[in-house]
Structure formats: C-alpha cells, structure tokens
Structure 1
Amino acid sequence: MNTKYIDLISQTFDFPQPEFKLEDKTLQFHDIDLMELVEEYGAPLKFTYLPQISNNIQRAKTWFRDAIKKHDYKGNYNYCYCTKSSHFKHVLNEALKNDIHIETSSAFDIDIVENLKKEGKITDETFIISNGFKRDQYVSNIARLINNGQKNCIPIIDNYEEIDLLSEQIDGNFKVGIRIASEEEPKFEFYTSRLGIGYKNIIPFYKNQIKSNPKVELKMLHFFINTGIRDNAYYWNELLKCLKVYTSLKKVCPSLDSLNIGGGFPIKNSLAFDFDYEYMIDEIINQIKQTCEEEEVDVPNIFTEFGSFTVGESGGAIYEVLYQKQQNDREKWNMINSSFITTLPDTWAINKRFIMLAINRWHDSYERVLLGGLTCDSDDYYNSEQHMNAIYLPKYNKEKPLYIGFFNTGAYQETIGGFGGLQHCLIPSPKHILIDKDKDGNITKTLFSEQQKSEDLLKILGYAN
C-alpha cells in the first residue's frame, strides 16, 4: 500500500520538476540541499535564490523576441521591473544584469534609482516609468531626476493635475504617458480602477492639457489589469478596448509610440501549475498588430512591468514543526516556529497560496493537518493547498523533527510584513540567506540579515536607546 509522503507527491503530480527533486531522501530546490541549509543556519529562515531572477527575465525576453519575429512586428520590446515587488538591493543588482528598465511607484523609489545610477547600474538611457498618484515629494524627485539628465524618465499621468505640477518643476521639455483607468472584473466591489484616467476622457485630456503644452511630449499609453495577464474573456476584452484608445490617440498625437501592457504574469503556486506564457505573448503581439493594421497606424513599442514574475520564484521560507495539537476528532494542528501573519502576510491578507512541501522525511507515512503560527491570532494559519484543498505532511513524530518549505514567496512578503520593524505579537523576523551560483555552477551562500533580537524591537518601541 502506498502510504508514504513521496508516494502522495509522485501520484498527485509530475515529480520531480525542474526546480524540485529528491536527493538523499531530502528536498532540493534548484540543486540547493535544503536540509544542509537548515543545519547550517537553523529554522525559521528565508532565502533568495538570485539566479532565478535572471532566469525569468531571460525567459520573458525570449518569448517576446520569438513572437515579434514570428509576426514581423516592427516595434521594440522593453522589459521593466516594478520595484514595489521587492526593493532590496540584491534583487535590483541581479535584475539589472539583464538589460532591463525600472518602474517606480512612489517618491523614495526615485532615491533608489539615483543610488543605482551613481553606482553605474543604470544610465541616462534607462527607461524609468514612474507610476502612481503623484504629489509633492514624488513630483519633486521625478523633476530632479529628469533635470539631472534622465531623459528616458517617463512619468505616467494618473490625474488631471499632474501635468501642471511636473511642468512647474521640470526645467526643460519632458515626456509623459497616460494611464488608462481600466474597468475591473465583475467580482470587484467597484467598477473602475481608482488609478488613471477614464477611457472616454483620455483624448479630451490630451487635447486640453498636453497638446497645447510646448514642454510636454506624450509618448506612452499605460494599460494595467489588476488581475494580471490571463487567458480569459475579461482580459482580451479590456486589451481590445485599450487598443481602440491607443489607435484613436495615435491618429491625433504622432509622438505617441509606446504601449505599456502593465499587469503581471502569474507565477507557479502549485506543482500542478500550468500557464502557457508563450501563447499569451504570441496572441498579445498578434492582437496589437492586427488592430493597428486595421486602423492604419504604426504598431507601438511594447513595455511590460513584471514584478512578481521577476522576483517571486526566487524566494522561499523554511519552518520547523514544533508541536502537534489534536483539537478535535478531525483537526490536527501542526504548530510552526514562526508566524504566517508576519513572514508570509499574503497567505493571511489575500488568501494567497504558495508551493508547500516537506523538506525531509519523504519516506514516512503522511497525514492531513492544518498549519498554525505562533501568534495569539485566529487568522495566523494556513489550511489548504491550491491543488487539493488540504495539507498533507509526514506524520508528526516528537522524536523526528519535521521541516517544511514554502516556495516562490519572493515578491511582496518582506515589504508587506514590515522587514526590519515591528511584527505582530513581536514575533522576530527570521534569518535571510542569499544564495547564488558562480560561473562554474558552484553554490554560494551569504547571510543577508540575522534573526531579529529583543533589543531591536525594544529600541523601536522606545524601551532602549
């Protein structure tokens, strides 16, 4: 009878997979021995596997290059990384190895851009696409960046006042884009995004505030779908509406030459994950070309802003199961030595699911469990997987430690969780390890941050100097 954890995984999924395999009875992730990592650094811990950032960027670039060649598409493609997914320097350093551009969303992002520029990681030619609602400091920082020579900084206009605010502080001529206020999916609590300018108002806005302003040149139309790029009727319908706006605007604004199809690609959240990236890109390029040909306008240069897709699949978190609580006849709670609320806040805030696998004991029998965090909060739990609506792990044994890993957690978790600051119930942030490979394929590990100490938290709270 197949009752071992390895049997469950092998029968449920196509396993092993490119990034996951079993070696010496323990799990490996991109050839990283995860038990060795635990033995060296302890648990809980977080890690970032830096090469996966470059891997995903190059995958997307290849898909777009192939689609552009196939359809004889005359525009260029530019890959942008939206920094809000992860602002860490090690992430930007890795991403910028791949000839990419940057999308910003707030004032302090510009300070990061200037720091990278000072270090030679970006140049005046790098596109800086500045999104978000802009006031005071953000406007000032964008103006400073442009005044200091960043000629490809393109603020994306989000409301009717921003043109005047930018014009007051930018010395010479500058380029802008306009964000479309897309209509949301029917399941949303509102009909239209709070961000951007409505479809029907874009051409009047251009004629009234941009066309007559000698300092401003409109270069880009920004189209963003909150749910990301997905093969469903909603996405294709919104894309076609956007293309109608683009072609109509292009006819009255010759300087318009770029379309930013914001909204990211999904990332792998289960061993059963299946998404045809190549088909989606191929069809997007095809739809854009067809629409432009029908309207007899030149095709635009394409920009994308991939955040989670860039960095998400590089991250992971490892916990130890401390104890099992049998709360009733059916429910067994495996208590981890950290908190989901603090270390994986997306699981609590938006019910996001990540790949979850045991690190060791794959040849032991398994059981159905719930996973609980350390905080005294009823929401600090994780109770189902995308693929089976349940969690199965090797049976709890007090004498045999069990370690579990959550994978593809690299986007948003640190910033939403408040890295380096206070955590719910004062649960400390775990150690964070950076993992890289040298040119010979040898794995290197660097301790990026230690686990928080009580002194760190007491200082924030005012109890210590």
Structure 2
Amino acid sequence: MNTKYIDLIDQTFDFPQEEFTLENRTLEFHGINLMELVENYGVPLKFTYLPQISNNINKAKQWFAGAMKKHKYKGKYHYCYCTKSSHFKHVLNEALKNDIHIETSSAFDIDIVEKLKAEGKITDDTYVISNGFKRAQYVTNIARLINNGHKNAIPIIDNYEEIDLLSQEIEGKFNVGIRIASEEEPKFEFYTSRLGIGYKNIVPFYRNQIQNNKRVKLKMLHFFINTGIRDNAYYWNELQKCLKVYTSLKRICPSLDSLNIGGGFPIKNSLAFDFDYQYMVDEIINQIKMVCEEEEVKVPNIFTEFGSFTVGESGGAIYEVLYQKQQNDREKWNMINSSFITTLPDTWAINKRFILLPINRWYDSYERVLLGGLTCDSDDYYNSEQHMNAIYLPKYNKEKPLYIGFFNTGAYQETIGGFGGLQHCLIPSPKHILIDRNENGEVTTKLFSEQQKSEELLKILGYDNN
C-alpha cells in the first residue's frame, strides 16, 4: 500500500520541482541540504537564499524583453524593487547587482537610499520612485535627495497638497508622478483606494497645479492594484481605465512618458501553483500598445514595482515538532517550537498561504494534523484555512524528531513581526541564516542574527536600563 508521505506527495503533485528535491531521503531547497542547516544551526531557524532574488529579477526582465520584442514595443522597461517588502541590507545588496531601481514608502527609506548611494550601490541614474502619503520628514528627505543632485528621484503625488509641500523645500525644477486611486475589488470593504487621486480628478489636477507650473514636470502615471497583477476581469478593467487616463494626459502633457504598473506578481504558495507570467506580461504590453495606437499617442516607458516577487521566494523558516496533543476524536495538534504570530505573522493576520513541507521522514506513514504555536493566543495556529489543503505530515513519534519547513516567506514577515523587538508572549525571534553561492557555485552560509536573548527583551521593556 502507498501509505508513506512520499507516496502522498507523488500522488498529489508533480514532484520533484525546480526548487524542491529529495536527496538521501531528506528535503533539499535549491540544492541546499536543509538537514545540515538544522544540525549546524539548530531550530527554530529562518534563512534567506540570496541567489533567488537575482533569479526572479532576471526572469521578469526576460519576460518583459520578450514581450516588447514580440510586439515591437518602443518604450523601455525599468524594474523597481519596493523596499517595504524587506529593507535588509543583504536583500538590497543582492537586488542591486541586477541594474534595478528603487521604490520607497516613507522617510527612513530615503536614508537607506543615501547609504546605498554613498557605497556606490546606487547612482544618480537609479530611479527612486517615492510613494506613500508624505509627512513632513518624508518631504524633507525627498527634497534633500533631489537637491543633492539625484535628478532621477520622482515623488509620486498622493494628494492635492504635496506639490506645494515639495515646492517649498526642493530647489529649482523637479519631476513628479501622479498615483491613480484605483477602485478596489468588489469584495473589498470599501470602493476606492485611500491612496492617490481619483480617475476623474487627475486631468483637472494636472491642469490646475502642474500644467502652468514652470518648476514641476509630470513624468509618470502610477497605477497600483492592491491584489496585484492577476488574470481576472477586475484587473483588466482597471488597466483599461488607467490607460484612458494616460492617453488623455499624454495629449496635453508632452513630458509624460512613463507608466508605472504597480502591484506585484503572485509568488508560489503551493506545489500546485500555476501562474503564466509570460502570458500576463505579453498581454499587458499588448493592451498598452493597442490603446496608445488607437488614441494616437506614443507608448510609455514601463515601470514595475515588484516587492514580494523579488524577495518572497528567497525566504524560509524551519521548526521542530515538539509534541502532539490529541484534543478530540478528530483533531491532532502538532506543537512547534516557535510561534506563527511572531515568525510568520501573515499566516494569522491575513490567512497567508506558504508552502509547508517536512524536512525529514518522507518515507514514514502520514497523518492529518493541525499546527500550533507556543503562545497562549488562540490565533497562533496554521491549518487548512491558510493552507491550500488539509495538512498532512509524517506521523508524530517522540523517538524520531520531525522538522518542518515553511517556504517563500521572505517578504514582510520580519518587519511585520518586529525583527529585533518585542515578540508576542516574549517568544524569541529565531536565528537567521544567509545562504549564498561562491564563484564556484558552492553553497555558503553566514549567521545574520542569533536567537533573541532575554536580556534584549528585558532592556526594551525597561527592566534593564543600566
């Protein structure tokens, strides 16, 4: 009988896959021996596989290059990384190896840009697209960047006052973009995004505040869909409305030459994940070109802002199953040696799905389980609501430790979880390992941060201020 965990996976999915293989009966991720990580560093453990960041950037560049060549599209393509997905220096260093640009969201982002610029990782030719509602410090920092000669800094206007605020602090002329307040999906709690300016108000706003302003030049229209780029009627409808605004603006604004199709690509959240990236890129380029040709305006340069797509598939977390609790006839709880709320906050905050696989014991029989975290919070769990299907894992055996991995967790989890700060129920943040490859393609590992110590948390709480 096919009762082993490996049999279940073989019957359910195409396996092995590009990043997941079995070697010596244990799971490997991009050729990395995960049991060696467990043995060398212990668990709980988080890791970042840096080469995957460059892999995804270059995939996207190839998709857009291919689509533009196919459709004889005369605009340029610029890949931007939105830093809010992960601000860590090791992430930015890897991403910036690939001739990309930066999208910022708040004042401190500009400080990071200036640090990277001082190190030669960013130049004046790097586009810095500044989104978000701009408070005083954010305006000041953007102005400082532009005043210091970074002419490719483009603040994206989010409300009617930002032109005046920027003009007060920026010396001389500067470029701007305008963000469209897109309509949200029908199932959303409200109709229109709180960010940006409404479709119908953009042309009047341009006429009133920019058209006759000799200091300000409109370069970009920014189109952002909260749910990302997906092949559904909602996305294509919003894109068409955006293109109508772009062509209307372009007729009266010769300086407008760029369209930022913000909103990211989805990332793999299941072994059954199936998304045709090339088709989507091809169709986006095709639609933009067709509308521009119909309206007899020049096609725009295309900017994308991929955050989760850039860094998400580089991350992972490994836990040990400590104990199993049989709470009733049907529910078995496998308790992990960490907390979902603190280490993978999106699992409980928005029922985010991640790929879940055991690291070892693939040739043991399996059982259906729920996964529980260590905190006393009833929401600290991971079950079939978050997971694509019911959760099956090798049967619990206190004599045979079971290690499980969550994959493609590299976007947002550290910042939302409060890296280096207080954790729910004071469960410590786990170790974090950086994984890279040297010039010979050999795997290298480096400890980025140790597991949090009680002294660190006590100091934050005010118990140790000496």
TM-score normalized by the length of structure 1: 0.99
How far does the alpha carbon of each residue in 1:33-62 deviate from its partner, in whole angstroms, 9 at most, with x for none?
A: 000000000000000000000000000000
The answer on 1:3 being equivalent to 2:3 is yes
The answer on 1:23 being equivalent to 2:62 is no
List alignment gaps of at least 5 residues for structure 1: none
Counterpart-to-counterpart distance in 2, 1:369 and 1:164:
58
Aligned to 1:444: 444
Aligned to 1:121: 121
Aligned to 1:254: 254
List alignment gaps of at least 5 residues for structure 2: none
Aligned to 2:225: 225
5 Å-filtered alignment, 1:56-205, equals 56-205=56-205
The answer on 1:395 being equivalent to 2:384 is no
Q: 1:432 deviation in Å?
A: 0.1
Count of residue correspondences: 465
5 Å-filtered alignment, 1:399-438, equals 399-438=399-438
Contact 1:268-1:408 at 8 Å conserved across structures: yes
Contact 2:351-2:386 at 8 Å conserved across structures: no
Q: Which amino acid aligns with 1:411?
A: A
3-state DSSP class of the match of 2:175?
Answer: strand
Counterpart-to-counterpart distance in 1, 2:385 and 2:207:
51
Counterpart-to-counterpart distance in 1, 2:252 and 2:315:
46
Aligned to 1:306: 306
3-state DSSP class of the match of 1:27?
Answer: strand
Contact 2:360-2:403 at 8 Å conserved across structures: yes
Q: Which amino acid aligns with 1:233?
A: A
3-state DSSP class of the match of 1:180?
Answer: strand
The answer on 1:365 being equivalent to 2:370 is no
Contact 2:270-2:388 at 8 Å conserved across structures: no
Aligned to 1:39: 39
Contact 2:353-2:388 at 8 Å conserved across structures: no
Q: 1:387 deviation in Å?
A: 6.9
Counterpart-to-counterpart distance in 2, 1:353 and 1:264:
16
Aligned to 1:265: 265
Q: 1:167 deviation in Å?
A: 0.3
Counterpart-to-counterpart distance in 1, 2:100 and 2:389:
38
Q: Which amino acid aligns with 2:162?
A: E
The structure 1 segments of at least 4 consecutive aligned residues displaced by more than 2 Å after TM superposition are 385-389
5 Å-filtered alignment, 1:267-282, equals 267-282=267-282
How far does the alpha carbon of each residue in 1:369-425 deviate from its partner, in whole angstroms, 9 at most, with x for none?
A: 000000000000001277753100000000000000000000000000000000000
Q: 1:120 deviation in Å?
A: 0.2
3-state DSSP class of the match of 2:132?
Answer: coil
Contact 2:76-2:301 at 8 Å conserved across structures: yes
Contact 1:156-1:177 at 8 Å conserved across structures: yes
How far does the alpha carbon of each residue in 1:118-140 deviate from its partner, in whole angstroms, 9 at most, with x for none?
A: 00000011000000000200000
Contact 1:272-1:387 at 8 Å conserved across structures: no
Aligned to 1:340: 340
3-state DSSP class of the match of 2:329?
Answer: coil
3-state DSSP class of the match of 1:116?
Answer: helix
Q: Which amino acid aligns with 1:177?
A: G
TM-score normalized by the length of structure 2: 0.99
Contact 2:347-2:386 at 8 Å conserved across structures: no
Aligned to 2:235: 235
Q: 1:438 deviation in Å?
A: 1.1
Aligned to 1:13: 13
5 Å-filtered alignment, 1:369-380, equals 369-380=369-380
3-state DSSP class of the match of 2:324?
Answer: strand
3-state DSSP class of the match of 1:242?
Answer: helix
Counterpart-to-counterpart distance in 1, 2:182 and 2:438:
44
Contact 1:341-1:424 at 8 Å conserved across structures: yes
Counterpart-to-counterpart distance in 2, 1:356 and 1:186:
31
Q: Which amino acid aligns with 1:20?
A: F
Counterpart-to-counterpart distance in 2, 1:135 and 1:370:
44
Sequence identity (%)? 87
Counterpart-to-counterpart distance in 2, 1:312 and 1:235:
22
Residues 320 and 9 of structure 1, relative CA distance in 2, 3 Å threshold: same
Counterpart-to-counterpart distance in 2, 1:241 and 1:114:
36
How far does the alpha carbon of each residue in 1:284-303 deviate from its partner, in whole angstroms, 9 at most, with x for none?
A: 00000000000000000000
Counterpart-to-counterpart distance in 2, 1:213 and 1:164:
11
Counterpart-to-counterpart distance in 2, 1:332 and 1:183:
43
Counterpart-to-counterpart distance in 1, 2:230 and 2:387:
19
Counterpart-to-counterpart distance in 1, 2:385 and 2:357:
10
3-state DSSP class of the match of 2:181?
Answer: coil
Contact 2:352-2:386 at 8 Å conserved across structures: no
Counterpart-to-counterpart distance in 1, 2:413 and 2:168:
37
3-state DSSP class of the match of 2:463?
Answer: coil
Q: 1:66 deviation in Å?
A: 0.4
Contact 1:423-1:429 at 8 Å conserved across structures: yes
Counterpart-to-counterpart distance in 2, 1:385 and 1:13:
20
Counterpart-to-counterpart distance in 2, 1:384 and 1:40:
32
Q: Which amino acid aligns with 1:247?
A: T
